[in-house]
Amino acid sequence: MIILVVFGGLMLILGLFYLANSWQQYREWKWATFIVLVSLAVTVYGAINLPYWHHSSHNNTTQQTTSAKSSSLSSFSNGGLQTQENKEMAILRQMQKAYAKMGNVTFDSNTKTFRIQPKDGDESKAISYVIQNPGQADQVGWPNLTKSIDSTSKQLKSVLGSGYSVSIMNPDNNNSAVYTAKDGKVTYNAVK
């Protein structure tokens, strides 16, 4: 993009001289004005898309972001919480923040399962696509997502104890999981 900015800037300067010269000698301004506007647009576009303005990469997948955020579970302090229920609710709030971009997180206390329901949009389309086309799982980022879920599940075991699961729910059927990890180990994977 820096080359685009430099090239556009030079083109803009030369275009302004051309516009001034064309107007003074020939009283023509249309073509020169067009050149100035195009070079201005190229310069502005290049400047806006410089890496300096974009501190976070747009290529980060949701899975990588949630994996980094869910690592905060390992630093969770047990000292201030009295009951297991309070711990579960605190973990639920942290997971809701960590997986907010992916979807809604709920907790089923009967089955000790944290359920991630993907939002309508790219996340649910990607998961539905992987279910229908398991051979394309690597391209969609399924391994990164499942690795993040496994890591979160393992951290839950260290904070809450054994028996807690994390499930990614099917976007097309809210009652069916497509992936579940319990105590850091895979217990169900719809994509094989």
Q: Give the structural domain span for 165.
A: 62-189
**Domains identified in the chain, total number:** 2
**Whats the size of the chain, residue-wise?**
192
Whether residue 185 is found in the same domain as residue 146: yes
Q: What is the mean pLDDT of residues 10-26?
A: 87
CA distance 72 to 98: 9
Whether residue 85 is found in the same domain as residue 147: yes
Give the residue from 51, 165, 70 showing the smallest Cα distance to 108.
Answer: 165
Whether residue 42 is found in the same domain as residue 100: no
Both tokens of residue 40?
């201005």
What is the per-residue pLDDT for 25?
Answer: 87
- Quick: pLDDT tens for 24-78: 888 888 888 998 898 888 888 888 877 766 544 444 444 444 444 444 454 444 4
Whether residue 95 is found in the same domain as residue 124: yes
**Residues near 54 by Cβ (< 8 Å), separated by ≥ 6?**
none
Whether residue 104 is found in the same domain as residue 43: no
What is the per-residue pLDDT for 107?
Answer: 92
